[in-house]
A and B are shown apart, each in its own frame.
Chain A
């Protein structure tokens, strides 16, 4: 079954797409700027951006006569929600241990 989240992570399984995503994560960038600093052609970058966009990982906005890509905050939501729950429980457990003097050994 292909889920929304599965599509997002499948998109990031490709190392070039992950690199593009990470560069866009640093700050919004235009296609030309991405292509100039990556060892792939501009059409290839456009194709990768299309996949990232379909996976809701990035979105594009017009800026003058070009399009600027930025992160789409919805893309990794499920993974984030999951790990947030995990770490909140971990910290609660840690808090209990650290506030019980001399009882942390087992």
Chain B
């Protein structure tokens, strides 16, 4: 409970079977993760999700560069996924795992075609100095480019 201060919890319910919800969230991540939210210097060519513990989430740049910005720490289809958030407060790759936070995603079946997805981004205290730079680099909380919001009208009621 008191740890909540250093974590963020959010959730959603989707109209999809648990197996599909897990598969789309993991291997299907390149299909919904906004393509302009990466930490490469140049443009993003593709994103790869390696579906196994020890794998990574890797951004590949059009210039041949690549960045593994997350390490898969738990991969338990179709119920649970944990990955590290190796992104510093400068919005750069963070090579020190001590300064990485982590994201846990849990999938709970609420029926044959209905799944609750719970997400917790925790250990935020591991991020060091300079948070305001990260914030300024990507704009105000409402200032994210509209690619996220473009999906919203497509949501079913």
Chain B: interface residue total (CB-CB under 8 A)? 47
Complex-state Cα separation, A105 to B47, whole angstroms: 12
User: Which of A3, A15, A26 is the one whose CB lies under 8 Å from B132?
Assistant: A3
Complex-state Cα separation, A27 to B3, whole angstroms: 9
Verify B28–A97 contact, CB threshold 8 A. yes
Complex-state Cα separation, A101 to B148, whole angstroms: 19
Verify B20–A87 contact, CB threshold 8 A. no
Verify A83–B8 contact, CB threshold 8 A. yes
Verify B124–A79 contact, CB threshold 8 A. yes
Choose, from B31-39, B54-62, B64-72, the stretch at the interface: B31-39
Counting chain A CB atoms within 10 Å of each CB, which of B15, B24, B130 scores highest? B24
Chain B residues whose C-beta falls within 8 Å of the C-beta of A99 in the assembled complex? 14-16, 155-156
Nearest A residue to B15 via CB reads A99
Chain B residues whose C-beta falls within 8 Å of the C-beta of A13 in the assembled complex? 128-129
Verify B127–A81 contact, CB threshold 8 A. no
Complex-state Cα separation, A72 to B88, whole angstroms: 23
User: Which of B8, B21, B28 is the one whose CB lies under 8 Å from A84?
Assistant: B8
Verify A9–B141 contact, CB threshold 8 A. no
Q: Write the A35-54 contact mask toward B (1 if CB under 8 angstroms, else 0).
A: 00000000000000000000
Verify B31–A76 contact, CB threshold 8 A. no
Verify B12–A93 contact, CB threshold 8 A. no
Complex-state Cα separation, A81 to B8, whole angstroms: 8
Contact A98/B25 with A13-B128, A22-B125, A89-B144 known, Cβ cut-off 8 Å: yes
Verify B141–A92 contact, CB threshold 8 A. no
B30 interface residue, CB < 8 Å from A?
yes
Verify A79–B127 contact, CB threshold 8 A. yes
Q: Write the B4-45 contact mask toward A (1 if CB under 8 angstroms, else 0).
A: 011110111011100011001100101111100000000000
Q: Write the B133-157 contact mask toward A (1 if CB under 8 angstroms, else 0).
A: 0010000011010001101101110
Verify A89–B89 contact, CB threshold 8 A. no
Minimum-distance CB pairs A-B, first 3: A89-B148, A97-B32, A96-B151
Verify A92–B125 contact, CB threshold 8 A. no
Nearest B residue to A88 via CB reads B10
Verify A6–B30 contact, CB threshold 8 A. no
Nearest B residue to A87 via CB reads B10
A91 interface residue, CB < 8 Å from B?
yes
Verify B129–A95 contact, CB threshold 8 A. no
User: Which of A3, A73, A81, A92 is the one whose CB lies under 8 Å from B151?
Assistant: A92
A33 to chain B, nearest CB (A): 16
Verify A6–B129 contact, CB threshold 8 A. yes
